[in-house]
Amino acid sequence: MTKDQKNEVIELLKEKFSQYNNFYVTDTEALSVEQVSKLRRACFSKNVEMKVAKNTLIKKALESLDGEKYSGMYDSLHQVTALMFSENPKEPALIISSFRKENNGERPVLKAAFINGDVYMGDNQLKSLTQIKTKNELIGEVIGLLQSPAKRVLAALLHHHEKQANGTAEAAPAAEAKTEAPAAEAKAETPAEAPKAEAPEAPAADAAAPEAPAAE
């Protein structure tokens, strides 16, 4: 590889490192040409860019961008290296896990991952990387947390309103019954009219008044 060709590779890598906040450093050694092609297709289908490059050129590209920022990745630059660039921080981890399962192997090996400024070193980090929350997932969780109190308040208000409505509906018949009860009691307590007493008839005169004696 000529110096110009090396510079072209470095510039291409710098462009990718600047474009993506997430990239994986993997070891594809011992994979056959057919397996590497299959891995590339898997990456392409998930919008993950896969680039194979020499470790020295990868390091120069990182150092020229921000040597301190990427310093934690330098120890992973050994043996055969395939880089995976992705907008989704966990997609490369899912691809690697799925590829291993389908091929009953342990390749590719995860050497390191750079996720939004954080470095994950070693193949033992693969499982945790498959569980990283994406930006959209985190936003969805935050929205859900913000909506939950509002939903609870709304549900409480609706329950209170329904309870009041039911209480009013039940109180109305009770009030009517209460109003009718005293009226019925008053009606029951009113004494019936006493029968009119008939005045005793004056005794009829059985005999006429005694006649006065006749004058002689």
Angle formed at CA 65 by CA 60 and CA 70, multiple of 5 degrees: 80
List CB contacts of 28: < 8 A, sequence separation 6 or more: 36, 39, 52, 80, 81, 82, 107, 108
Band of pLDDT at residue 205, cut at 50, 70 and 90: very low
H/E run at residue 6: helix 3-19
Taking the C-alpha atoms of residue 134 and residue 128, their distance in angstroms, rounded to an integer, is: 13
Residue 210 has pLDDT above 70, yes or no: no
Q: What's the token pair of residue 185?
A: 């009691």
51-55, 67-71, 88-92, 180-184: least confidently modelled range:
180-184
What is the rounded (10 degree) CA torsion for 114, 120, 126, 129? Answer: -60
How many alpha carbons fall within 13 Å on the CB side of residue 21?
10
What is the pLDDT confidence band of residue 208, given thresholds at 50, 70 and 90? Answer: very low
> Does the structure show a pLDDT above 90 at 67?
yes
Assign residue 116 a region (left: φ > 0; alpha: ψ between -120 and 50; beta: otherwise).
left
Output the pLDDT for position 98.
Answer: 97
Q: Distance between CA 8 and CA 19 in Å, rounded?
A: 17
Asked if residue 195 has pLDDT above 50, the reply is no
118 pLDDT more than 70: yes
Task: Find the helix or strand (DSSP H, E) in which 161 lies.
Answer: helix 135-189
Residue 76 confidence (pLDDT) above 50: yes
